[in-house]
C-alpha cells in the first residue's frame, strides 16, 4: 500500500501536468483541492483528469527507461525514473522494467555477464544486494505479482547471467523459494522450445546457489 506522503507526492506530480489553460484562479486551484468540491460532477471530472494524468506520466517515464541513449548516458536519471515507477506501483511499466532488469550493469546486450569475484559475486550477496545493484529489481518487487509471468518469460529468453540473477532476485522476494522452484519446474514442463527449456533449467540450477 502506498503511504499518504508518497501518494501526496504522486498527486502533486500528476497535478502539475494539469496546469494548462483557464483563468488564473483555475490554474491556482490544484487537482487535490478540487477533489474537496461539493459538486459531484467536478469531483468526477477531477478523478478522470488525475487518472489520465497518471497514465500520461507513466508513459513518459517508461519512454525515459526504454530509450537506449538515456541508459547509456543518463544513468542517474534512468535510475531515478525506475525508482518512481516502483513507488507508483506502475503495472504498466512491468514489461520495460523486465526488459532492462539488468540495468545499469546491462545497458545493451553483449551476451556476457559482469565479472564475478572469487567469492561468487552477486550470488553470495543475497537478495538485498540485488536490490541495491539493480534498481528494476526493487521496483518490480514493489509492483509485485503482476510481474511474475514476465520474469519467467525473461528467464527463458536471456543468455545473460546478470539478467538471470536479477530475475531470480525478484522471484524469491515475491514468493517462497520452494514456490519459485515449482514455478520454474512447471514452466520447463510446459515449454516446447528446447533453448528456452534449457535457459529455464539453468535458472533453476542458479537458484540453488543463491543466498537469501
What pLDDT was estimated at residue 114? 42
* DSSP structure string for 111-146: S-PPP--TT-GGGGTHHHHHHHH-HHHHHHHHH-GG
Residue ranges in the chain modelled with pLDDT below 70: 1-29, 106-128, 211-212
Helices (H) and strands (E) in the chain, counts: 13, 0
Q: Model pTM?
A: 0.76
What pLDDT was estimated at residue 208? 83
Distance CA(61)–CA(209), nearest Å, equals 35
* DSSP structure string for 78-107: HHHHHHHHHHTT-GGGHHHHHHTTTTTT-S
Angle at 135 between CA 89 and CA 85, to 5 degrees: 25
Residue with cell 507526492: 9
The tens digit of pLDDT for each residue in 90-106 reads 999 999 999 999 998 86
82 closest CA partner among 25, 19, 138, 26:
138
What pLDDT was estimated at residue 58? 97
Domain limits, the chain: 1-66, 93-212
101 closest CA partner among 176, 154, 180:
154
Amino acid at each position: 500500500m502506498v503511504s499518504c506522503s508518497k501518494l501526496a507526492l504522486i498527486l502533486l506530480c500528476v497535478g502539475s501536468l494539469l496546469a494548462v489553460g483557464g483563468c488564473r484562479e483555475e490554474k491556482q486551484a490544484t487537482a487535490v483541492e478540487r477533489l474537496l468540491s461539493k459538486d459531484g460532477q467536478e469531483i468526477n471530472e477531477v478523478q478522470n483528469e488525475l487518472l489520465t494524468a497518471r497514465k500520461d506520466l507513466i508513459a513518459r517515464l517508461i519512454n525515459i527507461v526504454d530509450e537506449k541513449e538515456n541508459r547509456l548516458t543518463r544513468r542517474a536519471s534512468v535510475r531515478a525514473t525506475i525508482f518512481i515507477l516502483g513507488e507508483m506501483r506502475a503495472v504498466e511499466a512491468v514489461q520495460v522494467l523486465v526488459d532492462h532488469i539488468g540495468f545499469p550493469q546491462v545497458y545493451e546486450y553483449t551476451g556476457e555477464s559482469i565479472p564475478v569475484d572469487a567469492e561468487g559475486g552477486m550470488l553470495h550477496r543475497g537478495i538485498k544486494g540485488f536490490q541495491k545493484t539493480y534498481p528494476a529489481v526493487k521496483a518490480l518487487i514493489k509492483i509485485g505479482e503482476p510481474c511474475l509471468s514476465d520474469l519467467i518469460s525473461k528467464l527463458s529468453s536471456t543468455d545473460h547471467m546478470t539478467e538471470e540473477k536479477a530475475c531470480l532476485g525478484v522471484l524469491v522476494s515475491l514468493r517462497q523459494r520452494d514456490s519459485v522452484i515449482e514455478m520454474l519446474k512447471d514452466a520447463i514442463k510446459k515449454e516446447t522450445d528446447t533453448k528456452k527449456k534449457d535457459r529455464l533449467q539453468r535458472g533453476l540450477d542458479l537458484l540453488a546457489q543463491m543466498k537469501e
